[in-house]
Structure 1
Amino acid sequence: MGQQFEALMPKHVEFIEQQHLFFVGTAPLAVTGHVNLSPKGYDTLRVLSPTSVAYLDLTGSGNETSGHLDENGRITFMFCAFEGAPLILRLYGTGRVGVKGSLLWDQYIEHFEMIPGARQIVIAEIHKVQTSCGFSIPFFNYGGEREKLKEWGMKKTEANILDDYQAEKNAYTLDGIETPIGKVMKER
C-alpha cells in the first residue's frame, strides 16, 4: 500500500513522465481562505532532480497557486494512474514562482517549449514523496490534448491584450492575496 520517500526514485520519475494530467494543491495561511486544487495538462512539468520539479504555468481565469506560494510556499502535486497498474503519487514541497522576465524565469525557461499564454514557472523543492494504492481510481482513455487554451493564448498575445487580462484576472487570489504577477504589474 502506501509508502513514503525523501526523494523521487527512478520509478516515480518514469510514472510522472507517462502522465498526461497532474494536480497542484495550495492554500493560504488564513484558516478561512480557499484551498486551491488545479488540474494541469500539456507537456508542462519537468523533473529537475530527485528533489526538484518545475512546471510552465499558463494564463487562466485565476492565479491562486502563485499567490499562495508567494505567501507561504506550501505545495502538493498529485499524479493518478488512469491507465495500467493503480497508483497515486504525491509530492510535498515548497515552491516559488518565476514570472515572465524575472531571473527565475530566465533560469528555468530553457527546460520548456514555449506555449502561448505562458505566464510563470512554478519551481518546487520536494521534501516528501508518497505513494498510495489508487485502487478506486477508474480507468480513463487518453484522447489527446485540447488546443483551446493555446489558441486563446495566441489570440490574446497577437491582440496585445494578454497583459491586460492578467492584470484583471491574475493579480490577486480569491482571498485578496497579491500574486507575483500583481506585484510586477504595480511596478510598471
Structure 2
Amino acid sequence: MGKKIDHITPQLQEFIKDQHIFFVGTAADEGRVNVSPKGGDSFRVIDQNKIVWQNKTGSGNETAAHLLKNDRMTIMFCSFEKNPLILRLYGTAKIYHDRDQEFHDYIGLFPQALGSRQIIEMEVDLVQTSCGFGVPFMDFKEDRETLDVWAEKKGQEKIETYWEEKNTLSIDGFETKIK
C-alpha cells in the first residue's frame, strides 16, 4: 500500500521515465485550484529531491500565475499500464522564462520545441505512493503532434503575440509574468 518518503528513489525514477502523462496541481491562496495534464518528453529528475519540466505554450497559463502567488506544487503520475501505482511529488517550485539563465541551463535537457514558454523547477520535500488499484488500464497509443505542429506553423513571433493575448493573466486575473 502507500508510503511516504523524503526523496525520489531510483525505482520511482524508473517509474517516472515509463509514464506518458503527469498532472500538475497548483493554487494561489485564493481563487481556483488548477490541475493540468502534461505529456510528451517534458519531465526530468535532476536528483532525488529536484525535478524540472518543460511547459509548452497552451491556452492558459495557470501554473505560472499560481507559482508567483504561492510556490507549492503537487505532481501526480499514475500507471495506466502494467502494475498499479500512484506517485505524488510535493514541494515548492520556481518558474523560469527565456529571459532567465536557469531556463537556458535546463532547456537542453529536452527535445528542441518551438513554443517552450517556461521551465519549472521543483524542490521535492515529500514523495507519496499509493496503490492505484482504482486506476483503469488504458493503452498508450502515441503522443499527439498537434501542439508542436501548431507552434511550427505560428513561428516564434506569433507565439509571443499569442502569449500576450492568452497567457499574461490567469482565469482569476493573476499575472503570469510571461512578458
> For this structure pair, what is the TM-score category when the shorter chain's length is used for normalisation?
over 0.9
Match of 2:158 in 1: 161
Superposition deviation, residue 175 in structure 1: 0.8
Match of 1:110 in 2: 108
Alignment check: 8 A CA contact 1:116 1:151 kept = no
Q: Do residues 179 (structure 1) and 159 (structure 2) align?
A: no
Indicate the RMSD between aligned Cα atoms, in angstroms. 0.9
Match of 1:85 in 2: 83
Instruction: Provide TM-score, normalisation by structure 2.
Output: 0.97
The alignment partner of 1:177 has SS state of coil
Q: Specify the code of the residue in structure 1 equivalent to 2:80.
A: F
Give the distance between the partners of 2:152 and 2:29, measured in 1 at CA: 35
Give the distance between the partners of 1:5 and 1:152, measured in 2 at CA: 40
Match of 2:61 in 1: 63
Give the distance between the partners of 1:161 and 1:39, measured in 2 at CA: 24
Give the distance between the partners of 1:27 and 1:71, measured in 2 at CA: 8
**Could you give the per-residue CA deviations for residues 87-145 of structure 1, whole angstroms, max 9, x where no partner exists?**
00000010011112311212211211221211110110000000000001000001001
Match of 2:120 in 1: 122
| 1:139-150 correspondence to structure 2 within 5 Å | 139-150=137-148
Instruction: Provide TM-score, normalisation by structure 1.
Output: 0.93
Match of 1:20 in 2: 20
Give the distance between the partners of 1:154 and 1:110, measured in 2 at CA: 19
The alignment partner of 2:108 has SS state of helix
Give the distance between the partners of 2:155 and 2:103, measured in 1 at CA: 18
Give the distance between the partners of 2:155 and 2:57, measured in 1 at CA: 11
Give the distance between the partners of 1:180 and 1:100, measured in 2 at CA: 12
| 1:38-49 correspondence to structure 2 within 5 Å | 38-49=36-47
Task: Give 5+ residue unaligned stretches, structure 1.
Answer: none
Alignment check: 8 A CA contact 1:22 1:40 kept = yes
* Aligned with 2:149 (options 128, 132, 151): 151
Give the distance between the partners of 1:111 and 1:43, measured in 2 at CA: 10
| Matched length | 179
Give the distance between the partners of 2:14 and 2:66, measured in 1 at CA: 29
Give the distance between the partners of 1:36 and 1:173, measured in 2 at CA: 10
Give the distance between the partners of 1:134 and 1:2, measured in 2 at CA: 9
**Could you tell me the percent identity over the aligned residues?**
46
Superposition deviation, residue 70 in structure 1: 1.3
The alignment partner of 2:29 has SS state of coil
